[in-house]
A and B are shown apart, each in its own frame.
Chain A
Amino acid sequence: MTSNPLPLNLSRFGGCTLTGALSVTTQVRNSVTVVHGPKGCTHHNFSLLHATGLDNDHVIIPDLISTGLSESDIIYGGEEALERTLDSVATRHFSTIFVLSTCIVDTIGDDVVAVCRRNRDVPVLPIPTAGFLGGTFQNGMNNALSAIAETVEPCRKDWSVNIIGEKNLENEVEENYAEVTRLLSALGISVNLRFLRDCSVEDITRLGAARLNILRDNALYTVGERLLKRFNTPYISSYPIGLEGTIGFLESVAGCFGVPCLRVVREEKNLQDDILTEFKDIFGTSVTFDPIAKSSDSFRIASEIAGRIGISVDRDGCRVPVQDASPVGSTGVRRMLHQWRRAIHA
């Protein structure tokens, strides 16, 4: 892959807005997503979502419909094809139709929003995507979450949190969620809604009920702000990351709910000590992180953990894997240390 790591070029590698938006819309049960573009774009994403589902033992066949733009549609405009597709899909008893555009459609100037505005018996929700012209994968995801949130009305708050913007294509998405719910339940707090993972349209109407939103990571900042404005729901900007981050997370959530957390924090610190003790056989070793050029967050967390168990980090050390997404919670750290031990003993 040709890469030029100048800051100017970083957005080039951020993936496609379409894929980001699809990672969200395909999680709404009984909905359909119309992708306005050549059918290759839909196939690519269908294949990717299917493959990811297979890898995660969570096989879903998303309902994606391509408007199947041909060369003549590109020349003469694709609005008719979109109109025809929406009319046909509207008869198929879906609860919602999401409409995503591709880069070619944005380039030829189809007015997707105008076509979607025409009255049909089912809600049609256009989401700004436009392939790479709309930004990156993360932009697509944020746009989809924000657009769906705009369809929900505020409601009365209860004693719960929302999980916002889980990375649905992430291999360990369920394990991460389980870790967050473990920490929340220690504080006596439940999850109101996973926004958005395997939800019905009715589930989504509860979006405003949570007292706190927990963002998967700080790239969802704009979504957090939008939800704050619309539902007056404050947010925590990230899942618990690393050992200190996990303690900080417990304290922040407890602070938002006004509940004491000293006992829970003490128990979590004990758990962390137990986890680190499990790996005393690798205390005192020397490692280097593989690959070296990772995000500063993952490097920082890996360094923190290495420091806690007396592992030194130097260039000639044993190469241990560091993932782009940092380990979530204390059990995430344990899984990472298992990988390190495998590498050190290899």
Chain B
Amino acid sequence: MPECDNPLWPCAMTGAAACLAGFDGINVVIHGSSGCYFYPATLLHAPLHGTFIIENDVIFGSEQRLLEVLDGLADNGKKTAVIMTCVPAILGEDIRSILNDYSVILVDAPGFSGDVENGYKKALSVLAPSVDPEKEGVNIDGVCIFDPFSGGNVLEVVRLLGSASVSVSTVFCFDRLEKVKRSAAYTVGTNRDFSSGIGTNLGGMLGFEEIRTTFRRVASVCPDADPTPVEREIEREDERIVRACDKFLRRFDPPYAVIFSNFSYATFAARTLKHYLDADILFVGSRNKPGNSPFPVEHVQDFSHMKTLIRHHNPDLVIGSSFERSVDTNRAFVGLTPPLRGMVMLAPHAIAGITGTLSFVEEVLNACIDRKK
């Protein structure tokens, strides 16, 4: 792994914490120092526990400290998951045998083992989700509490499935722990970069075209499903978006946009801007390894690289995180990517579902219009 200027994306440990802390019924213990604990604690806004190891624990072994923390959690009726951070992961202690007498999930996700997606997937695999063929409904996946839109995405997709008379089975990863072992045979996604791999994937929920296709597939496997209300809603809201965007285009040129996000969200944003606003997508910087794309895309992991690209392309619309917003404050900006610091987000906002597309286009239009005033 080469050197990296101001890395833009968190480590595997944070991803593992985000996965596990999304489940109700788990005590998440970060086995590491206070430094490792405080970052996910401030980013995820979820109850986390820590062993807060110090030098003595490294010299004499961290067993006693870990057991002290686990004993403190023993009476709250929840399962406990221990996430190994960098130093405990290489200490050579046989943590698994230390924990033999405890019913504990052990997740080896040191920061050096990869990025947030790796840790998320590793933690989910340790939970060993399984499909119950008798279970009705569909699962929702791609939900990671690291993503500030995850809560809004869940609400929106639950709403849409309800509107199509489809029940929701397990939400990965924002649900009760016991539901992990009894998920349905089919899954719809909100963010492909955090997909669960559980059940047959029926498609995603990013953008109207994808939603429409996914609901047709849902209807083909769920006999009671009726996608008509969702299709009607898409038709109606699509017209509203077209009207709003045409009104914008009568006055202004299409935006010249650069987008920095995880690949799945970035692709959604690029397609949406192209479709409704004939935007010129100058560049897509993917936080994670990108797949095939009709847009110019590159894996961008550090701040200097991102700043150079923004200055080089000179867009009038920047979509990304608060890091991208900091580069130049005179460009229209829409927040899509964590972290979104320096702004208040209290109500749930979605990117997935019909509301997600509406919100995204609304944000883009308002940002572009404000900048042109």
Contact = CB atoms under 8 A, between A and B. Distances in A.
Which of the listed residues A19, A74, A132, A133 has the most CB atoms from chain B within 10 Å of its own CB?
A132
A62 interface: yes
A142 interface: no
Interface of B: 1-14, 29, 32-39, 41-43, 47-55, 58, 68-69, 72-73, 86-87, 90-91, 110-113, 301, 303, 307, 322-323, 326, 339, 341-342
Contact of A15 (B34, B87, B303): B34
Given A19-B35, A47-B43, 4 more contacts: A2-B52, A15-B38, A44-B11, A66-B7
Nearest to B40: A44
Interface in A2-19: 2, 4, 9, 11-19
Contact of A55 (B13, B86, B326, B342): B342
A42 to B, nearest CB: 5
Contacts of B33: 16, 103, 131-132
Contact of A47 (B13, B113, B339): B339
Interface stretch (A33-41, A111-119, A152-160, A264-272): A33-41
Q: Which secondary structure dominates chain A's binding surface?
A: helix
Nearest to A66: B4
Contacts of A66: 3-5, 7
Which of the listed residues A12, A39, A54 has the most CB atoms from chain B within 10 Å of its own CB?
A39
A210 interface: no
Nearest to A51: B341
A107 B90 contact: yes
Contacts of B34: 12-16, 132
Interface string A50-72: 11001100010111111111110
Interface residues of A, number: 55
B68 A4 contact: yes
Contact of B6 (A42, A55, A107): A42
B87 A103 contact: yes
Q: For the complex of A and B, list the 5 residue pairs with the smallest distance between their C-beta atoms, beginning with the closest.
A: A40-B11, A16-B35, A54-B342, A132-B33, A12-B52
28 contacts: A1-B48, A2-B49, A11-B54, A12-B53, A12-B54, A18-B35, A38-B11, A38-B112, A39-B7, A40-B7, A40-B13, A40-B14, A41-B35, A43-B8, A47-B39, A47-B339, A47-B341, A51-B341, A68-B1, A68-B2, A68-B7, A70-B112, A73-B112, A104-B87, A107-B58, A107-B86, A108-B90, A131-B35
Interface in A66-115: 66-71, 73-74, 81, 84-85, 88-89, 102-104, 107-108
A218 to B, nearest CB: 22
A169 to B, nearest CB: 12
A84 B11 CA distance: 22
Contact of B35 (A39, A44, A62): A44
